[in-house]
Amino acid sequence: MATPITAAAFVQALKKEGVRVEEVRDWRNHNRNQQGSWGPVHGIMIHHTATEGADRTVDLVYDGRKGLPGPLAHGCITKDGTVHLTGHGRANHAGSGDDDVLRAVIAERRLPAPNERNTDGNVCFYGFECENRGDGKDPWPEEQITAIVRAAAALCRHHGWGARSVIGHLEWTNQKVDPKGFTMDKLRERIAARLG
Ligand SMILES: [Zn+2]
């Protein structure tokens, strides 16, 4: 269990991890806190955007779309490896998922396959939306993967979490396939190596 990081500490933690940070518009006050609770936080969720083009992807993650208001994540990681901060507080990214998965994340145990949608993940997960078409063919540049590893490691370090606190959306619910194009196990290995 952990209190969400402050906006100032988030920026600092990312920069300390060597991440290039862009602060988007009024991200520090941009959230869905009026619609539900935020925190305590238990983990970090990785997504792909299923979009193309950095600028419009960042705008989409900030603004949301019809029927799904933004922010759609706390950060949008573009192909060039920049972390664009898009929200602070509750964000519309995780949706409903499996409480057994949440328990495993909290205990940092191996994850069970998700088969229920009984828990609101927007309360307790940080979210990073990563620019990718999500078709399994669109490449994930090394700069982008490095930025994902570092951004996740920054939050893990802040909270004293290990790499098992980082999950993919597809590990939260069987309704989702993201992120597609790399495995979460491989990503967690890299995060664990970075955390040392
Ligand atoms: Zn997702």
The residue among 78, 49, 69, 74 whose CA lies nearest residue 169 is: 49
CA of 47 to the centre of ligand 1 (A): 4
For residue 158, the CA-to-ligand 1 centroid distance in Å is 23
**The pLDDT value given to residue 1:** 59
In the numeric block, which tokens belong to residue 74?
């706390």
Helices vs. strands in the chain: H and E counts, helices first: 6, 10
- Could you tell me if 140 and 182 are in contact, meaning their C-beta atoms sit under 8 angstroms apart? yes
Residues 90-144: pLDDT tens digits? 999 999 999 999 999 999 999 999 999 999 999 999 999 999 999 999 999 999 9
Cα 107 to ligand 1 centre (Å): 22
Four-point Cα dihedral 183, 118, 36, 29, nearest 10 = 0
Q: If you measure from the C-alpha of residue 182 to the centroid of ligand 1, how many angstroms do you get, rounded to a whole number?
A: 14
Per-residue tokens: 13: 């933690």
CA–centroid distance, 91 to ligand 1, in Å, is: 12
pTM, 2 dp: 0.98
Q: Residue 140 Cα, ligand 1 centroid: separation in angstroms?
A: 16
Distance 8 CA to ligand 1 centre (A): 25
What pLDDT is stored for residue 106 in this prediction? 98
Distances (CA, A) of 57 to 34, 72, 84: 24, 11, 10
> For the stretch 133-166, what's the b/e string if a residue is b when 16 or more beta carbons lie within 10 angstroms of its beta carbon?
ebeeeeebeeebbbbbbbbbbbbbebbebebbbb
CATH no. for 7-195: 3.40.80.10
Cα within 13 Å of Cα(18), Cβ side? 9
- Residue 93 CA to ligand 1 centre (angstroms): 6
| Residue 24 Cα to ligand 1 middle (Å) | 20
Structural domain boundaries of the chain? 7-195
Q: Which residue type sits at 125?
A: F
- Distant-in-sequence, close-in-space partners of 112: CB < 8 Å, separation ≥ 6: 98, 100, 101, 104
pLDDT tens profile 139-186: 999 999 999 999 999 999 999 999 999 999 999 999 999 999 999 999
Ligand 1 is an ion; residues with CB less than 5 A from it: 47, 169, 178
| pLDDT tens-place string over residues 26-84 | 999 999 999 999 999 999 999 999 999 999 999 999 999 999 999 999 999 999 999 99
